[in-house]
A and B are shown apart, each in its own frame.
Chain A
Amino acid sequence: MSDNVKDKNSLLDVKNLRTSFYNGNSKTEVVRGIDFTVQKGEILGIVGESGSGKSILVKSILGIIPSNAKVDAGEIILDGKNFESLSKKEKRAIRGRDIAMIFQDPMTALNPLKKAGDHLVELLIRVRGMNKKEAKLEAVELLRMVGIPSPETRVNQYPHEFSGGMRQRVLIAMALACNPKLLIADEPTTALDVTIQAQILELLKKLQQENNMSVVFITHDLGVVATICSRILVMYAGMVMEEGLAHEIFYSPKHPYTKALLNSIPRVDGEKTRLKPIKGTAPSLQSIKSGCPFAERCEHAMEKCFMEVPEYKNFSATQKSMCFLAGEEDRLDD
């Protein structure tokens, strides 16, 4: 991607973002220099195993990381606004206005002592400047929009009276209430069962198209990514391993990690092959060594891989990969 040319179409530009956890004197870097762009109106998928830093990455952008974590470096530009130049208060104003987020666990994301509707009302008053009466009507409308049946009664119910899927819809309604330019969905379907998962994905896709939002969709589930994302970022150990359009990632992956991930998904169509799990576990970021973070688990690792971090190689205007071997197809496929 052409980095320096100001992309008219980009909504969010993140450059060299680094976030670490601090524990006493020890520092653990979990987001290790990430660059990415979110285009207007696209759904970008961020894929990675647990602990690869996906959640912390987006929470760093939003500024809601835990108190023992800190963003060490990086540039975040949202719609032309550089976050660095903003005051704390201005940054807070961006949250919930320009960016909204949906969380992984709908069971705990709502205040148990507040009615579902009050969550929305509070938000509508603060973000959209409505008065209480307008906000109440709008809350019902929002619940209807996200497909909650009989929203007039639901609006006065407490979170414990909703099922997981319905709670996630309430949270999506919260996000919609803000009319955000960018919606971040952090594994929104992980805690839900499969049929509900499909409904929620359908809903998100529909709402994205209707409102022309950009969506960053975080997941560890490649199946989910395939259903809704147009572009994909593959993360591993706090770094982007490969980036490309969905069909590029699925049909011509360049990075051994991406290939290994794809090989480990069970296929239901046609040929029966053995699943190929990736050996080993994701590295602990506390004991990160030099070189490519995937080297230890990589089938094709060479001596060089343990010594230095490979540069990104571009394969098309949209696809790039961080591997010495990327592009040398014959060597990767043996």
Chain B
Amino acid sequence: MLKYIFKRILQAIPLLFIISIICFTLIQLAPYDAVDAMTTPNMTKETVELIKARYGLDRPAYLQYFYWVKGIIGGEWGYSIVTHESITNDLSARIPNTILLVLPAYILALFFSIILGLLAGANKGKLADKIIDGLSSFGIAIPSFWMAMILVFIFGHRLNIFPILGMHTIGNEESFFDLLSHMVLPCTVLMLSFIPELVRYVRSSAIGQLSEDYVMVQQAYGANPTSIVFKHVLRNVLLPIITIVGMSLPMLVTGAVVTETVFGWPGIGTYFVKAIQGFDYPVVMAIMLLSASLVIIGNLVSDILYSIVDPRIKGMGE
């Protein structure tokens, strides 16, 4: 068991390196010169060269890569070339904000999805299923920025019960209740954007499980339908969801770009968008690397969780 986990972690390391190379290469291939972000057209050639030298941009790409990776391993992610702030500081200030938004939304979405998905799956073809399945198709088709605007219009403008911008009311930074009321709308938007796909996943998984032989066997032995769903089917349905949850780990960082932008939430999303607009390549690279690494880590975590929860995999390592 531990051997398996250790093996999986070792396997993840080369992957992370490959990802860093891809991130770096993509930025190098982008059709602009990084130095453009710091120069103005009327600077002399010498000045531009000087700036280039100062940021190490005159060195060959492999050396630049080497220094970048070295910095990251040492916990130093570099500086924004636009604001000259430390990226490490910026990220550590903003990631918690994004997590604060995404995590509750995701947990709530997961909770509702499991209930709705099971309900739909257990009543396949009946009214409840048609309503839930229909609404999820609808939900998948709705862009989240549109949903955000509609909610802003109804709850922020017409009913005027929730704030629509930022994290805190100015002068009221310490109030938890104030924070909560700022969270309601963006969290709802995120939740509504997570739910439809999760519901569909749970539903199809439940339908698959309910047509398994062991369910019929339980019926033949007189188990009532509710206890079949909760005692037998539920765990089998939840198992594959571990994968989905693991894969969603990167969303903790980049899952709310659109929603954060609409609601002016000071998280990674707004930071990322600003960096792209300002050709702030170290920031873009850092966020790309971060979210790509989280994909790998998410996979790793779900694999490990799987091996703990599923007896069929647990036994295999031994």
Contacting residues, chain A, for B213 (C-beta < 8 A): 103, 105, 108-109
Q: Which of A64, A97, A111 contacts B214 (CB 8 A)?
A: A111
Task: Check if B214 sits within 8 Å of A126, measured CB to CB.
Answer: no
Prevailing SS type, chain B contact patch: helix
Name A91's closest neighbour in chain B (CB-CB): B222
Task: Check if B224 sits within 8 Å of A92, measured CB to CB.
Answer: yes
Task: Check if B236 sits within 8 Å of A113, measured CB to CB.
Answer: yes
Contacting residues, chain A, for B216 (C-beta < 8 A): 64, 103
Tell me whether A95 and B239 are in contact in the complex, defined as CB-CB below 8 angstroms, given that A105-B213, A108-B214 are known contacts. Answer: no
Q: Name the segment of B170-178, B185-193, B255-263, B309-317 touching the other chain.
A: B309-317
Write the nearest CB–CB distance from A119 to chain B, whole angstroms: 9
Query: How many angstroms from the CA of A126 to the CA of B312 in the assembled complex?
Result: 27
Contacting residues, chain A, for B315 (C-beta < 8 A): 158, 160-161
Q: Which of the listed residues A101, A110, A112 has the most CB atoms from chain B within 10 Å of its own CB?
A: A112
Task: Check if B239 sits within 8 Å of A113, measured CB to CB.
Answer: yes
Q: Does A94 contact B (CB under 8 A)?
A: yes
Write the nearest CB–CB distance from B10 to chain A, whole angstroms: 27
Name B214's closest neighbour in chain A (CB-CB): A111
New A-B pairs, 17, CB < 8 Å, besides A67-B124, A96-B221: A92-B224, A94-B222, A95-B219, A100-B220, A101-B217, A108-B213, A109-B214, A110-B217, A111-B214, A111-B232, A112-B214, A113-B311, A122-B223, A123-B221, A126-B223, A158-B312, A158-B315
Q: Which of B125, B221, B231, B312 contacts A112 (CB 8 A)?
A: B312
Q: Does A260 contact B (CB under 8 A)?
A: no
- Interface residue ranges of A103-140 to B (CB < 8 Å): 103, 105, 108-114, 122-123, 126-127
Binding site for B on A (CB under 8 A): 62, 64, 67, 92-97, 100-101, 103, 105, 108-114, 122-123, 126-127, 158, 160-161, 171, 174, 178
Binding site for A on B (CB under 8 A): 124-125, 212-214, 216-224, 231-232, 235-236, 239, 310-312, 315
Contacting residues, chain A, for B214 (C-beta < 8 A): 108-112
Contacting residues, chain B, for A97 (C-beta < 8 A): 222
Task: Check if B232 sits within 8 Å of A127, measured CB to CB.
Answer: no
Query: How many angstroms from the CA of A94 to the CA of B315 in the assembled complex?
Result: 37
Contacting residues, chain B, for A100 (C-beta < 8 A): 220-221
Contacting residues, chain A, for B311 (C-beta < 8 A): 112-113, 158, 160
Tell me whether A103 and B217 are in contact in the complex, defined as CB-CB below 8 angstroms, given that A113-B311, A127-B222 are known contacts. Answer: yes
Query: How many angstroms from the CA of A110 to the CA of B216 in the assembled complex?
Result: 10
A selection of 10 A-B contacts at a CB cut-off of 8 Å is A64-B216, A95-B220, A96-B222, A97-B222, A101-B220, A113-B239, A114-B232, A161-B315, A174-B221, A178-B221
Query: How many angstroms from the CA of A111 to the CA of B220 in the assembled complex?
Result: 14
Write the nearest CB–CB distance from B154 to chain A, whole angstroms: 40
Name A95's closest neighbour in chain B (CB-CB): B222
Query: How many angstroms from the CA of A72 to the CA of B74 in the assembled complex?
Result: 75
Write the nearest CB–CB distance from B17 to chain A, whole angstroms: 36
Write the nearest CB–CB distance from A125 to chain B, whole angstroms: 11
Contacting residues, chain B, for A158 (C-beta < 8 A): 311-312, 315
